[in-house]
């Protein structure tokens, strides 16, 4: 990958230029650290107003684990986009596989979900990421994620 110059932090407007996701499925609010071709640290502020809390679970809101994994995958997409200059035009990455997913703690309203994603390996149009989600330094979830890039 080419060496990319990035000004941190990266806010929601720039994230929306790099990812196709929108409310209620955009699950990254800010990128705070970035090493081109290697690693990204981003976060999601988990608000009581999130649509998924209406049914998961009424009276005891918990962020679904699959959405924590999706947030990690989106952070991986940002890592890929930032490493290649930040242009998503004509390219989309799709989640292909999730391995070794482990959940250690519930994510609830008011939490800041920190998302650390590193590139494990790249093969042709696919990238394998290692993702770690934490809240206040405590591990929430981890997973190995495989994404494939396709061109429009």
Position 87 confidence tier, pLDDT thresholds 50, 70, 90: low
Cβ contact 126:96 at 8 Å: yes
Residue 2 lies in a domain: no
Quick check: 15 and 31 in contact, CB under 8 A?
yes
Read off the CATH number of the domain in which 46 is found: 3.10.129.10
Q: pTM score > 0.75 for this model?
A: yes
- 1-7 — which CB contacts under 8 Å span 24+ positions? 1/36, 1/37, 1/83, 1/84, 1/122, 2/36, 2/83, 2/84, 2/85, 3/36, 3/37, 4/34, 4/36, 4/82, 4/83, 4/84, 4/85, 4/86, 6/34, 6/36, 6/82, 6/86
Q: How confident is the model at residue 84 (pLDDT cuts 50, 70, 90)?
A: confident
- Asked if residue 7 is part of any domain, the answer here is no
As for how many domains the chain has, the answer is 1
Structural domain containing residue 82: 12-151
Confidence of residue 91 (pLDDT cuts 50, 70, 90): confident
Nearest to 43 by CA among 5, 85, 7, 9: 9
Q: 145 phi and psi, to 5 degrees? A: -125, 135
Residue 2's pLDDT is 46
52-76 confidence digits (pLDDT tens) = 999 999 999 999 999 999 999 999 9
> Does the annotation mark 56 as catalytic?
yes
Of 98-102, 113-117, 121-125, the least confident = 121-125
Give the whole-angstrom CA distance, residue 69 versus residue 81: 18
Spot the catalytic one: 56, 91, 105, 112: 56
Residue 108 lies in a domain: yes
Residue 40, domain member (yes or no): yes
């Amino acid at each position: 990958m080419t060496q990319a110059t990035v000004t941190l932090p990266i806010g929601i407007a720039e994230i929306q230029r790099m990812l196709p996701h929108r409310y209620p499925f955009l699950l990254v609010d800010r990128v705070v650290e970035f090493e081109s071709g290697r690693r990204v640290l981003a976060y999601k502020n988990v608000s009581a107003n999130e649509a998924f809390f209406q049914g998961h679970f009424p009276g005891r809101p918990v962020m679904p684990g699959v959405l924590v994994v999706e947030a990690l995958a989106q952070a991986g997409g940002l890592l890929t986009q930032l490493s290649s200059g930040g242009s998503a035009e004509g390219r989309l990455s799709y989640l292909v596989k999730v391995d070794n997913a482990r959940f250690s703690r519930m994510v609830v309203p008011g939490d800041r979900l920190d998302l650390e994603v590193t590139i494990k390996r790249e093969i042709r149009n696919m990238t394998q990421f290692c993702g770690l989600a934490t809240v206040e330094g405590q591990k929430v979830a981890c997973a190995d994620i495989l994404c494939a890039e396709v061109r429009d």
